[in-house]
Amino acid sequence: MALTWKKGRGKMGPIAPLIGRWKTAAETPMGPVACIRDYQKFGEGYVKLEAEWTFRGAGAKSYREVALFGPDADGLLMFWSYTNDGKKSSGRLADATDIHPQAVCFEAQMDAGLARQVFWPDEKAGMHWVVEARTKKGWSRMAAHHYRAV
């Protein structure tokens, strides 16, 4: 079943396709991981993300994130993220049509430099999510997952 990927109206419109609960299983350098990403409306002007990565195998552990997406004081669509390992980040809506014409992208200035997370529809089912770091040669992919709606 193909995913309906339709951006909504207004400032929050770009993240409308993300609303809902998503799951994936992927291989990572830390071993196999299962991840649930749950995006839900939070009041009138925000979307709240609750995500949990559960790593299996040797040294099994869980990693959690809570984030809010919404407009800042200037009306720009932003995100504010907090993780259970004490890290924080924030960033703004950006362009990632180099990946897909319907991509939804947020860029953040991190300690190591500029990073972005990008979401776009899979033509058959679900969505893609990647995290990339900006290098002198362009974007370098650090993580890639394929999610399906729960």
Q: What are phi and psi of 15, to 5 degrees?
A: -100, 5
pLDDT per residue rounded down to tens, the chain (150 residues): 445 688 888 889 999 999 999 999 998 888 899 999 999 999 989 999 999 999 987 677 899 999 999 999 999 999 999 999 999 999 999 999 999 999 999 999 998 899 999 999 998 889 999 999 999 999 999 999 999 999
Separation between Cα atoms, residue 150 and residue 145, nearest integer Å: 15
pLDDT at 3: 53
Burial of 9 from C-beta contacts in 10 A (0-12 / 13-18 / 19+): exposed
Q: Looking at residue 126, what is its pLDDT?
A: 94
pLDDT recorded at residue 146: 96
Helix (H, G, I), strand (E, B) or coil at 15: helix
Confidence at residue 61, expressed as pLDDT on a 0 to 100 scale: 87
Q: What is the pTM of this model?
A: 0.91
DSSP calls for 87-116: -EEEEEEE--TTT-TT-EEEEEEETTEEEE
Question: Which residues pair with residue 4 across a beta bridge?
Answer: none
pLDDT at 18: 96
Identify the helix (H) or strand (E) that includes residue 27: strand 20-28
CA-closest candidate to residue 146, choices 132, 125, 131: 125
